[in-house]
Structure 1
């Protein structure tokens, strides 16, 4: 049908003392096939530099799985 459903998500949580917030859009391209767009991750960390390259890679590739597996 060409119709594209978009859902907005904001997830907050903590894991091993690391507080995070993840915001992203989930678009349905075809039936049962979804893509993550506009991924933004915010960490409350005492040493944000240690996560900067990792977060850049996660956000550039819209890779939610990598983020949650690494936590």
Structure 2
């Protein structure tokens, strides 16, 4: 893929993305600040999920299963 095609694709993705996703991407791309800033609600959700994992590590989905599920939804 040529650079111009990548730029066009990125612009299209940005135009159709939600603001929360754009904020995450922006925080990753900033040169001097590589820290990901999460809201209190996001931190609470991550902590809740981590605690659930610690209680039952075998529950949940593996990465391949997640990719398959996402792939099916996008078709």
Tell me the TM-score normalised to structure 2 length: 0.23
- Using CA pairs under 8 Å that are at least 6 residues apart, name the structure with larger relative contact order, 1 or 2: 1
Q: Which protein is richer in strand relative to its size?
A: 1
Tell me the TM-score normalised to structure 1 length: 0.24
Q: Which protein is richer in helix relative to its size?
A: 2
